[in-house]
Structure 1
Amino acid sequence: MNVERIKEAYGALYEIETSLKDIIEDKMSTEHGPLWRRKLREEGKKHFHDVVSFYHKYQCLNDLFTSEELHQMHQLIAIRNKVCHMRDLSNDEFRVLLYYKEIFCTAKCNSNY
């Protein structure tokens, strides 16, 4: 097991998830006001797959990414599970994770979001 690579993968996942959550926070607050979080708590939505589902569920979010990018979010769930359960990633999975990090973390900085 390559501990340094697992650390880097976990850091990348953290950045991806927090970026996606920040975008949700901004768009949902703008669209629905500050009380939108009540619905989030009621539904118990706090896992990565829940974050991904928000981009399909709410109109103000599902136009932010292309259908390919939304598909990529779903692909990250399997990679995320491997990292969080301390299983090695293949070289391809690791490259994919770093590639997606660039896409989703850059989106957070993009003025369109």
Structure 2
Amino acid sequence: MTVFEESCVPENMIEGYRLLYEIETTLQSIINFQLTYKYGLHWRSILYEKRPINDACLHELVSYLFKYPHIIPNINRSQREKLRKLSDIRNKVCHMTDIADSELKVIKECNNMIKGFSYEISSKR
């Protein structure tokens, strides 16, 4: 067995990466859905947003929630702040810096929160 065959990646990192992927793709879907619903298919040009939503980084996706509050109308300040803190944790995971159990807990909480918002939005339409 070689070094490359052994998995030395901590479980927190694997789970964190998976959950962050879910968070980012779900946020992209929510944002695109809500802005398309309100402004139409050409919402990017109407709102002068240059970058396609699928190319946006996590911090940019979170900033959409501050910039366009109607995307998730019932999100509160503490939930937004928790999402804002998520960017620092995401950078650790993506740059292969170990994360603490408490940081994985924040990722899980944010993932559950975003899934809940996604369900609420899809059930209203």
Tell me the TM-score normalized by structure 1: 0.86
Q: Alignment identity in percent?
A: 29
2:16 alignment partner in structure 1: 9
The structure number with the bigger radius of gyration is 2
Pairing 1:1-113 to 2, within 5 Å after superposition: 2-38=9-45, 39-40=48-49, 42-43=50-51, 46-61=56-71, 63-110=73-120, 111-112=123-124
The one-letter amino acid paired with 1:19 is T
Number of residue pairs matched by the alignment: 112
RMSD between aligned alpha carbons? 2.0
* Cα distance in 2, alignment partners of residues 91 and 103 from structure 1: 18
* Cα distance in 2, alignment partners of residues 44 and 78 from structure 1: 22
Tell me the TM-score normalized by structure 2: 0.79
Contact 1:31 1:60 in 2 (8 A): no
The one-letter amino acid paired with 2:64 is F
Contact 2:59 2:87 in 1 (8 A): yes
Report the CA distance shift for 1:26/1:44 in structure 2 as closer, same or farther (over 3 A).
Answer: closer
* Cα distance in 2, alignment partners of residues 47 and 104 from structure 1: 16
